[in-house]
Amino acid sequence: MVAEVGRQTGEPWSAFRERHGDKRRYLVLGVARRCTGLTLAEVGRKAGGMDDAAVTMAMRRFSLACQRDKAPAKLSASVIKAVQM
């Protein structure tokens, strides 16, 4: 997932994983939750030590961004499709 988001956006995970408010970071968390079956706490640990409340808020913010703008939604669908292949 991390590699696929990096491939599709042209920037590696290490460049945006610590950036609060970065939609790509939120995307990685949401796709990880949706496609792996990991708990929120597990996703947070794997993403660098976030707690489950932070992961929940990030996913909520990404969902809102998708409602306001179609580009994040399209990117999300593209990453999910690529990961599930």
Q: DSSP letters of 42-58?
A: HHHHHTTS--HHHHHHH
The pLDDT value recorded for residue 45 is 94
Number of Cβ within a 10 Å radius of residue 72:
20
Read off the tokens for 82.
């690529």
**Rounded Cα distance, 76 and 31, in Å:** 7
pLDDT over 80 at 85, yes or no: no
The pLDDT value recorded for residue 78 is 94
The pLDDT value recorded for residue 74 is 93
Q: Which fold has domain 2-84?
A: Chromosomal Replication Initiator Protein Dnaa; Chain: A; (1.10.1750)
The pLDDT value recorded for residue 84 is 86
| H/E run at residue 20 | none
Q: What is the pLDDT of residues 16-62, one digit of tens each?
A: 888 888 889 999 998 998 888 899 999 999 988 999 999 999 999 99
